[in-house]
Amino acid sequence: MAKLTLDDISDVRAYERGREELRARIIALKRRRRVSIGPVVTLVFENRETVLFQVQEMARAERIVSDEALQVELDTYNPLIPEPGALSATLFVELTTRAEMEEWLPKLVGVEGSIELLIGEGPDARVVRCAVDEAHARQLTRERITASVHYIRFSLEPSEIDGFASEPVVLAVNHPSYAEGVRLSDETRATLLEDLRGR
């Protein structure tokens, strides 16, 4: 997928005129790309459209209008757009109360490195482990408590992409304090296959 450039970013007034329609489209898109793994971990798989929306929303909220400031945002978020053969996701630890945060955030240190794709079933299943985005990890990773947002990616070999297209796929967290998994729906798998194939 092509990275975003300044030419892709609408000015604030133009964006405001089409925002509600775009927002509705992105909500529908994210519904197919959002996967909850157990009670508190959710992944949203990013693509060019979701990242463009994020940058536009940042520009709107912070009234960013200069090319230089917009380029900073693009440099920050462009790495989330996956290359062919890869998937990129934002990991959310979804907690709503102080008590939940005090319980879960210390227990889930390192959760960002424990996400796996299990492609196929039985002894021949292939495990694809995530990689943590290094630039974001320097800002988000802590020794005693995890952040509630992380950025990860998966790189798949051509044979793994073929398996992703034709076999069951489970998205799992393999962490000492949190072992959960969920089978991807056909709709989600088809959407993510477009990313893997660079469409």
pLDDT at 6 (0 to 100): 94
HSE-up of residue 3 (Cα within 13 Å, Cβ side): 12
At 179 the pLDDT is 97
Mean pLDDT of 58-79: 91
Whole-angstrom distance, CA of residue 105 vs CA of residue 112: 12
Task: List pLDDT tens digits, range 141-191.
Answer: 667 888 899 999 999 999 999 999 999 999 999 999 999 999 999 999 999
Tell me which residue of 79, 163, 161, 152 sits closest to 116, measured CA to CA.
Answer: 152
Across-strand partners of 175?
A: 178
Q: Which of 4-8, 83-87, 118-122, 141-145 has the lowest mean pLDDT?
A: 141-145
The token duo for 82 is: 């996956």
Residue 123 is predicted with a pLDDT of 87
Asked whether the predicted pLDDT for residue 140 surpasses 70, the reply is: no
Q: Give residue 9's pLDDT.
A: 93
Q: How confident is the model at residue 139 (pLDDT cuts 50, 70, 90)?
A: low
